[in-house]
Structure 1
Amino acid sequence: MGSAVERTDEHVREYLIYRGFTSTLKHLDTDIKADKEKGFRVDKIIDQLQQLVQSFDLSGLKEYWLYLDRRLLCRLEDVYRSTVNKLRTSLYRYYVINTVQVTSCRKTQEFFQKQALELQSQVEWRDWFILPFIPTPEQNPAFSPYFSRQWADTFLVSLHNFLSVLFQCMHILQLNPQPFADECPVSSCIQFHSEAVLFALQTESRDQREGDEMVHHKLPVYVQNMDRLGDTEDLVSSQRPVSAATTPSRNFFSTFLPQGRRTPGKLPQFTTGSSPSQAAVGRKDPPINLVRGEGVFKFKKKKGETGEGELLAEASSEPPDPCSYSRSCRGGAEGGGLSMEQPFIKLGQEEYGEHHSSIMHCRVDCSGRRVASLDVDGVIKVWSFNPIMQTKATIMSKSALLSLEWATKPDRLLLLGSGVGTVRLYDTDAKKNLYEMNIDETHPRILSLACSPSGSSFVCSAAALSRPGSVDSAPRLPVPVSGQLLLWDTKTVKQQLQFSLEPEPVAINCTAFNHNGNLLVTGAADGVIRLFDMQRYESAMSWRAHDGEVYSVEFSYDENTVFSIGEDGKFIQWNIHRCGVKQSEQVLPQDATGPFVLSGYSGYKQVQVPRGRLFAFDSEGQHILTCSSSGGLIYRLTNGEPALESMLSLGGHKAPVVTVDWCSAVDCGTCLTASMDGKIKLSTLLAQKS
């Protein structure tokens, strides 16, 4: 509807210019700038609400919501009043949570003082009055779900989609321009649809006079099943684990998004009907994209109905650009065919730009609350992105830093590996080093760190200095350097043992534990993958996996296989029950495997060998995120050939992405992609449940 309003405004402007009514045109432009309804652009309305929340303008927030309610929401039938009330409750809770996260207690107490008379009689707010007096509400079981990014994103998308449906279904003034004679370049004939109601432009005085005669706006039938649209309890419960036997969560997306991996049939062709309402539906206006992603919804009038419609879901054939609310119908609409449903909706993308050189490592902690990123200059940034992007600590070292890893217990601790044979344990809350361990002077380069899920130990890969003539930022020499793999106890801060690396000591590039720490997989510079039994502390098996170095290894979701990426550009799945047996193999482009190259003016070229994680899995292990020259790429794992099926490009980067991570601590996952220009992108995805 927003595009229809914009087109109408343009037609009015053309008419005023043609008639020479410049004064009226100036007043029109002034009124449009002050338009609280934002031209029925839902994204603009949501942005305005978020701006009021982030600026802690409670009176402005109440006033703006009251305006929306008086001008738009109150015109809905009574059956939707409970949904509107729940959305308002969620909006206020969104405001309160923001005050707690950003301003401590002052603004929180101010909210409850100003809203006490209104809220104290409402059951859903009864337990919230203790919020300002809880020391750490984000850790309280009753309130912790509201502090998650998933809850905030789901609420905002729910509100956006509800308003989109409302705007799609409400009646609007239609200007039907007809051309003048050939000598007239502008539109002149303005016709009104006989059934059109001047909904958006009615004056408030007329609203008051109409009283009970005011026209109600009917939503489609399916919206009657969405009375839990703004129900915060449903949004919260969707974050809690449920058994496979339970019924699907009845939240907003279970109603709106296409279910399963079915391929919809061909869309019916809309034709212009005889009635004005049918003519309006039959126009070739672009359909509204209700979600910041794949689901494009059209409405078709049924015979005999006056305002209700049926929902038709259409999946785009091209990757969406969900960072903006696209109003264009991509791919299959005009061709009549439909493509497979996208597994994720990209809710948005943010940038962290505090680094000034290429990133080596970028990792999210176990809780999904903190990120640690390390650049080639040895600068480490510890930062958070919920509710706002904020740097928590900056760590600088006199000696080069080469690796990092989050501890599992407690997750505020960060392990930092240097280029001078030391590993530091850093407390990100206290912003200080707890202790420093001297690993091995003969193998000073700490290439990889992996913390056991039990939290009692960590594995450290130490390598000798690079041979003369080679540096970390250039391709490595064909002959691997010597290395050690050591196990350290985090409680005693002592080395427990040194693993045997057959056939010869070699630099281990990457390490990963399975879920309980009983198995450890490593990838080495000699192209060999080694699997260690951590109960016996011995090698269980090893096999040559790649021609060249192994850059990245991870266990599969079921832990029956291991995935690896090597210098030969191959992404391979290995069966750990049958030593050296491939289950699948696929060649990836160089921008996914490295070495990574950044070219500049006057022949400048920067080359970087992979150091961080090159791929990461989603929470169910069915999709992987990889690097690319312009952003992350998401693939779906298949059981056949090819092994990977391209699903979604995250984009957003101007330099090659060199390391990735996928935070799946909550259903609304966050993909991190870090590039050679020091930029880190956070892409928030919402999984479409099957």
Structure 2
Amino acid sequence: MASAVECTDENVREYLLYRGFTSTLKHLDNEIKADKEKGFRVDKIIDQLQQFVQSFDLFGMKEYWRYLDRRLFCRLEDVYKSTVTKLRTSLYRYYVINTIQKGNVEKTQEFFQKQVQELQGQAEWRDWFILPFVPSPEQNPTFSVYFSRQWADTFLVSLHNFLSVLFQCMPQPVLLSFDADVQKMIALTDENEQLRQMLFTLQTENPEQRNSDQMVHHKLPLYVQNMDRLGDTELDLVSSQRSVSTVTTTSRNFLSAFLPQGRRAPGKPAPVSAGSSPSQAAMGRKDQSTNQSVKSKEAVQVKEGLPASGQISTSETGSSQQQQQQCSNQSTNQGTNHKPRNKRIQEHEKERKELFSKPPPQTPEKKVEVVETEPPPETCTDPPESSTSRTNGAGADGGGLSAEQPFIKLSQEEYGEHHSSIMHCRVDCSGRRVASLDVDGVVKVWSFNPIMQTKATIMSKSPLLSLEWATKPDRLLLLGSGVGTVRLYDTEAKKNLYEMNIDDTHPRILSLACSPSGSSFVCSAAAPNRSGNNESASRLPIPASGQLLLWDTKTVKQQLQFSLEPEPVAINCTAFNHNGNLLVTGAADGVIRLFDMQQYDSIMSWRAHDGEVYSVEFSYDENTVFSIGEDGKFIQWNIHRCGVKQSEQLLPQDATGPFVLSGYSGYKQVQVPRGRLFAFDSEGQHALTCSSSGGLIYRLTNRETALERVMALGGHKAPVVTVDWCSAVDCGTCLTASMDGKIKLSTLLAQKS
């Protein structure tokens, strides 16, 4: 941020000179010289504080800290106040220790005389008032640690890190974001130019060369170039063996996902030809020395970068003529060998038998136990996430072709307009707009196709706890507050249409679900908790009471109140089936309830989790229900047999919550799940869940283990708290929202099996 500020200052100076605003330029220079924030240079701020300490300027140090408090610290959330207080206490102690180390007893006594009114009631300063009277305080067990160089360095580093993170998280004006936008545009331009060059290279291939790429007969390995012509089945085996060994070491090509199927490496090796006799296989197993030589030749060819039969790279397409010339020269040189022809044929036949006697390599299926918080390196199926905000599928997580990954990650973009943790993030039915809500009650309505753009910003005086898109029309947004009201907001007209008073005794609107018919919506209202409206606080040991209400969207009136048995309880999550005839709910008492929306009655209910139910959804065929609860379990329930589990799996805490974000100086933020914790793709075969560094995609199985991890999206630096999966467009878009206010949009392309 400091570099962007300096660059912006220079640009402003240049503009003022260009316009002739010389007096304004003089005022700007004078204010920059007297800038107490030092151009957001953290090192200069630390140097200024150290200068006050070394010069025993207690008044200047206090005034400078008060300025930082008024300018920066007072705008932070309440959870940061304890961190600021600890840093101020450490700064005062750093000053006192310096006065003693320099032998200036008068300044030590002056500090306690001037600060006695402020510090005498604080427990952490209770033992420090005897410090001026201790003969050797550096040897006293109470104060010895503060005289060490390690403590001073730790304090300065902590203060430096806190200010650095604070400056990075501050909302920046448009001028400061200009430099970042320019760098992003430059990176995208370079990326597009590289892709354009690759596409031009592929399109300018001559027809003979393109045919030679598609027909593997012209791309034989060197050790079989002088053999007799192999059969098609045997040649496919050679190609598959070479491609399997090479595809794991070479870089994945982004454009290979869009090439015809004949130009890709085969996913499974072809079976051995029936023409290989048992005697030939036995001969191949007996001669181990020749087999080792063949393996060494293959390794040499891989190191030399020889192309596999099923892969296409830029170097291969750009220098194919040179490779053909080299192959022809090698054939000519080998043809002049003075060995007898029959002897060479016998040796080649021997190598051929040994080659086909080896069983085709089988690529082991990679599985990851989902109970682990961080998968071990050897089971990780994805490369690290790139640091840029938009990555190509060639180098991103899961971007390359593999047998385990059902999707190609084409790109990943970031929406960073929020400045606090996200609670909800939902895509509308048409897949055109996204609504996201943070813990500060700010709602952003934005689009991502064709470009990412904020359409509306909704500010609320009362805290907002839930949101839901209306189905008809899909431009309407339902917003549930913490004071017992639900607002119907028009995102195109940017105004409130209605504000409905739900219930004063149950003011917290925890969940909203709009019927697919668009004529009504379900509202879950709960009683206030002891901690007020702080949703980051821990839950009560006894579930709060609540109501489940049905409201008519057109008349804006309450239709009925559902019966919640055995007792009224807070409903955390709700979901309709495809036609709105069924409603499933998950409650704070761990019970899942299924309602018939034609009879407006409860069909069945069962205890699903030990603790609260955080998220619940219908399956693709709507014969089962999936749920995630406070006990960390992901369970599939059969709705035709009450309370019968079809599968169950234990998920890590970073997928189920409560979510924890740790920071400097012991800072810790805890957030209870509010948004959707999992979402399905368009075919209901894969599920997207939360994790500490991004979304995780699992394949749904019919086995006892419900999930099988297949892909990690990555890209986040803070825990992901809610997800959504939009399949309304051709390429599915996964949304993952985290506690630092960042939302990642990962565009996926399904690989056809």
Q: Same fold (TM over 0.5)?
A: yes
Secondary structure of 2:703's aligned partner: coil
Q: CA deviation at 1:667?
A: 3.6
Q: Is the 8 A contact 2:396 2:409 kept in 1?
A: no
Secondary structure of 1:592's aligned partner: helix
Q: CA deviation at 1:412?
A: 1.0
**Cα 1:45/1:530, change in 2 over 3 Å:** closer
**Cα 1:281/1:381, change in 2 over 3 Å:** same
Partner of 2:463: 400
Q: How does 1:489-638 map to 2 (within 5 A)?
A: 489-638=552-701
Partner of 1:319: 381
Higher strand share: 1
Distance 1:447 1:502 in 2: 19
Structure 1 position 430 matched with structure 2 position 493: yes
**Cα 1:534/1:479, change in 2 over 3 Å:** same
Secondary structure of 2:622's aligned partner: coil
Q: CA deviation at 1:77?
A: 2.7
The percent of aligned pairs where both chains have the same amino acid is 74
Partner of 2:508: 445
Distance 2:639 2:653 in 1: 27
**Cα 1:280/1:541, change in 2 over 3 Å:** closer
Secondary structure of 1:510's aligned partner: strand
**Cα 1:328/1:395, change in 2 over 3 Å:** closer
Secondary structure of 2:563's aligned partner: coil
Residue by residue over 1:329-388, the C-alpha shift from the partner in whole angstroms, topping out at 9 and shown as x without a partner, is: 999x9xxxx974311111121111100000000001111111100000000001111121
The one-letter amino acid of 1:431's match is: K
Q: CA deviation at 1:255?
A: 5.4
Structure 1 position 390 matched with structure 2 position 453: yes
Q: Is the 8 A contact 1:258 1:341 kept in 2?
A: no
Q: Is the 8 A contact 1:316 1:339 kept in 2?
A: no
Partner of 2:716: 653
Distance 1:354 1:264 in 2: 49
**Cα 1:615/1:515, change in 2 over 3 Å:** same
The one-letter amino acid of 1:618's match is: D
Q: Is the 8 A contact 2:646 2:704 kept in 1?
A: no
Q: How does 1:113-124 map to 2 (within 5 A)?
A: none
Secondary structure of 2:648's aligned partner: strand
The one-letter amino acid of 1:319's match is: T
Q: CA deviation at 1:475?
A: 1.8
Structure 1 position 76 matched with structure 2 position 206: yes
Q: Is the 8 A contact 1:655 1:675 kept in 2?
A: yes
Partner of 1:162: none
**Cα 1:677/1:577, change in 2 over 3 Å:** same
Q: Is the 8 A contact 1:270 1:281 kept in 2?
A: no
Distance 2:714 2:397 in 1: 18
Unpaired runs of 5+ in structure 1? 1-43, 54-63, 82-164, 172-220, 222-249, 293-298
Distance 1:257 1:281 in 2: 18
Q: CA deviation at 1:512?
A: 0.2
Distance 1:329 1:471 in 2: 37
Q: How does 1:212-251 map to 2 (within 5 A)?
A: none
Q: Is the 8 A contact 1:355 1:678 kept in 2?
A: yes
Distance 1:288 1:326 in 2: 22
Aligned residue among 449, 474, 478 for 2:537 = 474
Partner of 2:304: 283
Name the stretch that deviates more: 444-453 or 433-442. 433-442
Q: Is the 8 A contact 1:478 1:548 kept in 2?
A: no
The one-letter amino acid of 1:379's match is: V
The one-letter amino acid of 2:556's match is: V
Q: CA deviation at 1:286?
A: 9.0
The one-letter amino acid of 1:283's match is: E
Aligned residue among 409, 419, 424 for 1:346 = 409
Partner of 2:130: none
Residue by residue over 1:48-67, the C-alpha shift from the partner in whole angstroms, topping out at 9 and shown as x without a partner, is: 484799xxxxxxxxxx88x9
Distance 1:439 1:552 in 2: 23
Q: Is the 8 A contact 1:372 1:382 kept in 2?
A: yes
Secondary structure of 2:496's aligned partner: strand
Secondary structure of 1:535's aligned partner: coil
Q: Is the 8 A contact 2:471 2:518 kept in 1?
A: yes
Residue by residue over 1:134-186, the C-alpha shift from the partner in whole angstroms, topping out at 9 and shown as x without a partner, is: xxxxxxxxxxxxxxxxxxxxxxxxxxxxxxx89x9x99xxxxxxxxxxxxxxx
**Cα 1:51/1:426, change in 2 over 3 Å:** farther
Q: CA deviation at 1:467?
A: 2.6
Q: Is the 8 A contact 1:315 1:340 kept in 2?
A: no
Distance 1:671 1:52 in 2: 26
Distance 2:671 2:396 in 1: 40
Partner of 2:423: 360
Higher helix share: 2
Q: CA deviation at 1:253?
A: 6.2
Q: CA deviation at 1:666?
A: 2.5
Structure 1 position 483 matched with structure 2 position 546: yes
Partner of 2:703: 640
| Aligned Cα root-mean-square deviation (Å) | 4.3
Q: CA deviation at 1:282?
A: 7.0
Distance 2:675 2:382 in 1: 28
Secondary structure of 1:674's aligned partner: strand
**Cα 1:624/1:306, change in 2 over 3 Å:** farther
Distance 1:668 1:429 in 2: 25
Q: CA deviation at 1:442?
A: 1.1
**Cα 1:352/1:503, change in 2 over 3 Å:** same
